[in-house]
Chain A
Amino acid sequence: MGNHADIDRHVKTYILVFVTLLVLTMVTVAVSRLHLPVHEAVAVALVVATVKGGLVASYFMHLISERKLILWVLGFTVAFFFFVLLLPLWTHWDPIHY
């Protein structure tokens, strides 16, 4: 990012992302009031949260134009993150049923 015109263009994007994040926040709250079954509610909430998180990471944190080294580091981090998240599933495969 260099000259003022570039920055002005990015500022417009920031405002657009901000409005989108606000709208998605309202969508999350509105959907929760529908009292959907647990699985559907979790799916909708996580999809919306992931879109919001993606917008923050891509535009506010500039990942959309970041160097490949950073993207590789984050790629590994995300892989390990999901590995840690899946660890609790092993407790359900416990062969000792007590």
Chain B
Amino acid sequence: MEIPFTVAERPDTGLNNGKIGIWLFLASEVMLFGALFATYLMMRTGAAVWPRGDSILNVPLATVNTVVLISSSVTMVMAWASLKRHDFGKFRLFQGLTVLCGFGFLFIKYLEYSHKFELGLFPSKNTFLAIYFTLTGLHGLHVIGGMAVNAYLWGPGSKLWKTDPEHFTNRVENSGLFWHFVDLVWIFLFPILYLL
């Protein structure tokens, strides 16, 4: 049985099913991170002392990571725009760059984490590190999830372009929406954890 409204708009919503599905999923993701941000707020306002993030964390590395993630958002949207222009070669280039940026982000995160562990700074050390590892760890898992979908669409999933290009373009748009959300979360995590 074929899934309905993957390309055509549903008459009642005015959207295809994939689009409404990804936005509802992102709404639930907002609440997931919202709960953790609220936890951070409670921990911080309730603590007698709270360290400035830059006294413990590596701001230059995190700044580079911010640039990497913002760049990946641009390459992602350019990948989608390339499909809209019917330029599959450019799509492969930009989608590949997006996945590479994801690897770059994770590598820098690995450097940060491993340095903390070398210094004995584990989540159990104090409340700041517990919330830092929880928030960045969950965000990192989202990066890995987004990369997996983007890599699939770059590789085997791109076969759909030959048979149903519009459906494939919608899939890239939806995976892009998730990827931009991951970028958006980092835009808030960066100042909250590293700079304040």
Contacts and interface: CB of A to CB of B under 8 A. Distances in A.
Nearest to B71: A18
B46 interface: yes
A96 interface: no
Most buried by B among A4, A77, A91: A77
Contacts of B191: 28, 32, 45-46, 48-49
Contacts of A45: 191-192, 195-196
Interface string B170-196: 000000110011011001101110011
Contacts, number: 119
A72 B77 CA distance: 24
B81 A80 contact: no
Interface in A42-98: 42, 45-46, 48-49, 52-53, 56-57, 60-61, 67, 69-70, 73-74, 76-78, 80-81, 84-85, 87-88, 91-92
Given A14-B78, A69-B20, A70-B20, A60 B31 contact: no
Contact of A38 (B63, B84, B196): B196
B138 interface: no
Contact of A22 (B23, B67, B180): B67
Nearest to A74: B27
A77 B59 CA distance: 31
Nearest to B60: A29
B77 A69 contact: no
Contacts of A1: 84
A17 B73 CA distance: 11
A81 B81 contact: no
B37 interface: yes
Given A18-B74, A49-B192, 13 more contacts: A14-B81, A18-B73, A25-B67, A29-B63, A49-B188, A56-B73, A56-B180, A57-B180, A61-B181, A81-B31, A84-B35, A84-B37, A88-B39
Interface of A: 1, 4, 7, 10-11, 14-15, 17-18, 21-22, 25, 28-29, 32, 38, 41-42, 45-46, 48-49, 52-53, 56-57, 60-61, 67, 69-70, 73-74, 76-78, 80-81, 84-85, 87-88, 91-92
Pairs A-B, 10 closest by C-beta atoms: A88-B42, A45-B191, A32-B195, A77-B27, A81-B34, A18-B74, A84-B34, A60-B180, A52-B187, A21-B70
23 contacts: A14-B78, A22-B70, A25-B67, A29-B195, A32-B196, A41-B195, A41-B196, A45-B192, A46-B191, A49-B192, A57-B184, A60-B73, A60-B77, A69-B20, A78-B30, A81-B34, A84-B35, A85-B37, A87-B38, A87-B42, A88-B38, A88-B41, A92-B45
